[in-house]
């Protein structure tokens, strides 16, 4: 790979030069490489942690929605049951009144 780069023409008329000693340049480059590598590892770690938190929050949201659906269903069932009981009470009361009044709607005579 490096040898193939040697054969490529340089894109500008001026070759790059460094005015600092090779050992310092190499040390600075290594230091920069380590910094970038550690920064990338920290960023990936943070991204993985946030992805895990997001997945947990989405799962919790789904469970909450399912639970709300169950509770709404139970509430509606109990509400219907109460309405049915009230209607049955009304019908029973009406039928009892009909028995007391008689079939023509006039008050009946008690024996």
| Residues 108 and 100: beta-carbon distance below 8 Å | yes
pLDDT surpassing 90 at residue 100: no
Q: Which of 110, 88, 111 is nearest to 100 (CA)?
A: 110
Whether 92 is in a domain gets the answer: yes
- Half-sphere exposure at residue 106, Cβ-oriented, CA atoms within 13 angstroms: 2
Whether 68 is in a domain gets the answer: yes
Where does the pLDDT of residue 110 fall: very low under 50, low under 70, confident under 90, or very high at 90 and above? low
pLDDT of residue 103: 63
pLDDT of residue 11: 87
For residues 48 and 40, what is the distance between their CA atoms, to the nearest angstrom?
12
Whether 94 is in a domain gets the answer: yes
Total number of domains in the chain = 1
Furthest C-alpha separation in the chain: 128
| Residues 101 and 107: beta-carbon distance below 8 Å | yes
Whether 13 is in a domain gets the answer: no
Q: Which two tokens stand for residue 108?
A: 């009946």
Q: Which domain holds residue 54?
A: 22-101
- DSSP-based three-state secondary structure for 35: helix
Whether 3 is in a domain gets the answer: no
Q: Which residue has the tokens 């946030």?
A: 50
| pLDDT tens for each residue of 49-64 | 999 999 999 999 999 9
pLDDT of residue 17: 84
pLDDT of residue 59: 98
Whether 76 is in a domain gets the answer: yes
| pLDDT tens for each residue of 29-83 | 999 999 999 999 999 999 999 999 999 999 999 999 999 999 999 999 999 999 9
Lowest mean pLDDT segment, chosen from 21-35, 59-73, 97-111: 97-111
């Amino acid at each position: 790979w490096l040898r193939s780069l040697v054969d490529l023409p340089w894109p500008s008329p001026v070759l790059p030069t460094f005015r600092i000693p090779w050992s310092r340049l190499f040390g600075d480059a290594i230091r920069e490489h380590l910094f970038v590598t550690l920064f990338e590892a920290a960023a990936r770690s943070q991204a993985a942690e946030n992805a895990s938190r997001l997945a947990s929050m989405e799962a919790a949201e789904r469970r909450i929605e399912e639970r709300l659906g169950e509770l709404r269903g139970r509430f509606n069932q109990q509400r219907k049951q109460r309405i049915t009981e009230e209607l049955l009470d009304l019908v029973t009361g009406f039928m009892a009144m009909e028995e007391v009044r008689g079939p023509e709607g006039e008050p009946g005579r008690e024996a």
